Structure 1
Amino acid sequence: MSVIYFFDIFGTIIFAICGVIVASKFGMDAFGAIVLGGLTAIGGGTFRDMALGATPVFWMNDTTYLWVILVTCLITMIMFQKLDNIPSWILPVSDAIGLAVFVGIGFEKAIQYQDSMMVAIVMGVITGCGGGIIRDALTSQVSNVLKREIYATACLIGGIVYSIALSMGVDNTIAFMHCVITTLIVRLAAIHLNLSLPTLSTKDKC
């Protein structure tokens, strides 16, 4: 098993857990939790592969992802049944870890199919944010991507670091790790320090 494939499975587990956590907050049943966990885990990667023309998409070529999602969702639901309260920090931190891993995965997959670093950065953002957007849309929440939070921006920064590392001749696996660590640090710092981007205002302009 390659290092990047290991991290892909790891990110799938993390995002599946995030989906189940959100499902539990909305009182969904077991089927709903599995669906939400699955869409959170593979939604972004599915959009990425379709955009790149990498079809059949990754989870159709390797059903390990589906089994990992199913087992993860079931174990998470069983564990959460034994907890009285879910600590408030678990979801944002878990989401940050999954986000960071999937940005690197998306970038790495993109450079296999085309040569543009700009496109690879965009694919990294889509892979990292896509599943969360679907999850939030299904639960009628405004996605973090559309809020003031530094979320997609962290993905962009991570993708840029990956691109710069490759252009400097850094080994792909090392560049991948730089991307993941950078994205994670930026996202966790934004959460801890409550950092946000400035918002547009239409005050006195209409």
Structure 2
Amino acid sequence: MVWETLNLIGIIAFAVSGTLVAMEERYDLFGTLVLGFVTAFGGGVIRNILIGVPVPSLWEEDISIYIALFTILLLVAIPSQWIRRWKKWYSFFDAVGLSAFTIQGALSAIRMELPTIAVVVAAVLTGIGGGVIRDVLAGRKPLVLQKEIYALWAVIGGWMIGMEVVQKDWQLYLLFGLILCLRLISLLFHWQLPRRIAKN
């Protein structure tokens, strides 16, 4: 039940995120549908390839696909002044997608009884994959490669699940809230990871 719930939350959140970016970049309807769809499902497809889940399994999630398409079309149809307000919430939807898909990705690897490192990788790829594809297609520098702390929260979430620190349903939902809060707090206070700058 947790897997399905977080999968649905992640799909809606990233579909919104991808659609807002497409509208900001002035994509047409087809381009908006493509960007919203690949943002919602791209991370899961990459994860499935690496952990050995057949790619065609995506098409078995017909309800999730319809929900993603409905979400995208709903955003396209609502008044433009509403969209301007929603743009302020872009980072929130992105953080929700990151949190939900981090846990959902880790649980996918746990289902296949993979080692902890694979659980962490699955969590990270699912959590950030859709956003990376979105940014690349939109001609933007991927958020995960910038100075903000982003993928680290997915690493921590995947590790906690892989090491069985978090197992029960209520713990997973609590972890979802924790990752979401940490991502938003890191944005609010501009937390950064150390970096080296090459000098000429």
TM-score range, shorter chain: over 0.9
Whether the 8 Å contact between 2:132 and 2:142 is mirrored in structure 1 is: yes
- Pair 1:185 & 2:181 matched: yes
Cα distance change of structure 1 residues 80 and 6 upon mapping to structure 2, 3 Å threshold: farther
- Which residue type is aligned with residue 122 of structure 1? V
Q: Which runs of 5+ in 2 are unaligned?
A: none
Measure, in 2, the Cα distance between the counterparts of 1:57 and 1:177: 29
Q: RCO higher in 1 or 2 (8 Å CA, sep ≥ 6)?
A: 2
Q: Which of these residues, 185, 192, 196, is aligned with residue 196 of structure 1?
A: 192
CA–CA distance in structure 2, aligned partners of residues 145 and 171 of structure 1: 27
- Does the aligned pair in 2 maintain the 1:50–1:57 contact within 8 Å? no
Contact 1:161 1:178 in 2 (8 A): no
Percent identity of paired positions between Structure 1 and Structure 2: 29
State the secondary structure of the residue aligned to 1:134: helix
Amino acid at match of 2:8: I
Partner of 2:114: 115
Quote the residue 2:139 is aligned against: 140
Distance (Å, rounded) in 1 between the aligned partners of 2:171 and 2:159:
11
TM-score where L is the length of structure 1: 0.90
Query: What's the offset of the Cα at 1:50?
Result: 1.1
Larger deviation: 28-37 or 177-186?
177-186
| Residues 97-144 of structure 1, C-alpha deviations (whole Å, 9 max, x = no match) | 110000000000011113311110111000010001100000111111
- Give the aligned CA root-mean-square deviation in angstroms: 1.8
Match of 2:70 in 1: 71
**CA positional deviation for 1:87:** 4.8
Residues 160, 179 of structure 1: CA spacing in aligned structure 2 closer, same or farther, 3 A cutoff?
Answer: farther
Counterpart of 2:18 in structure 1 is: 19
Mapping for residues 1-150 of structure 1, pairs under 5 Å: 2-83=1-82, 85-150=84-149
Which amino acid counterpart does residue 53 of structure 1 have in structure 2? G
> 2:61, 2:83 → 1: CA distance?
36
Instruction: Compute the TM-score of the two structures, normalised by the length of structure 2.
Output: 0.92
Rounded Cα–Cα distance in structure 2 between residues aligned with 1:178 and 1:161: 12
